[in-house]
Structure formats: structure tokens, C-alpha cells
Amino acid sequence: MLRNGFHAQLGERVRSSERVRDEALQVASSLFYDGIAHFDGGDDDAALARFEQSLAINQSCTKQPTTAPYALCCNNIAAVHARRGKPLQATVWYERALEALTAKEVCVCEC
């Protein structure tokens, strides 16, 4: 009986952890799209902050940096740097996006 109780508690913790992860990825997605709105509106500081926050959440929730959200964040961070006239920083971020997209296994979902 003790063993079944332990497994039930462990299962609930896993489900709870998955819910927290899913909620974090939803926040990351919201931040990403908010960053696009700021970028389109010309507010590079706010856009960069949102893209960096989204990237950090995606990195903390995934085991591999080869997800489409990771690549999109890197691409958009590069676009901000490019628009700011910082080609070296933009290149670094574009290369990260390209590396993620050309990896052998790219996860196109938020996994």
C-alpha cells in the first residue's frame, strides 16, 4: 500500500511539473509575440527584452537548443541588433538561429 501511495504522489508531481512547464512555455510564447509587436512599433529595447525573456524560458524548459521557438527568438534578437546597426552581434544571433534550424533533429513544436 505504501508503494502505491508513493507512485501516486510521484505521478501527481510529474503531472504538476508538466503543467508548470506548459504554462512557462505559454508565457514564453506570449513574450515572443509581444516582442514582435514592440519590434513592429519601433521599440527595440522592449522587443529585445521580450525576445531575451522568451529565449531564457524556452531554454529552461527544453533539453535541446534545436527547437523552432529557440531559433525564432535567436533570429528576432539578431534582427533587433541589425536594425540598431550592430552587425557583429546580429551575425552571432543569426548563426545561432541557423545552427538550431540545421541541426539533425529540430523540434518544430514547443517540446
Per residue in 60-76, pLDDT (tens digit) is: 887 766 678 899 999 99
Residue 8 is predicted with a pLDDT of: 56
Return the higher-pLDDT residue of 108 and 28.
28
CA distances from 72 to 11, 12, 54, 66 (A): 33, 33, 10, 10
Q: How far apart are CA 69 and CA 24, in angstroms?
A: 13
Q: Is the pLDDT of residue 100 over 60?
A: yes
Residue 11 is predicted with a pLDDT of: 55
- Helix boundaries (H) for 1-111: 2-40, 44-61, 68-83, 87-101
| Residue reference for cell 523552432 | 68
Cell of 14: 510529474
Quick check: pTM over 0.85?
Answer: no
Q: How far apart are CA 37 and CA 64, in angstroms?
A: 27
Residue 111 is predicted with a pLDDT of: 40
Residue 68 is predicted with a pLDDT of: 87
pLDDT tens for each residue of 44-58: 999 999 999 999 998
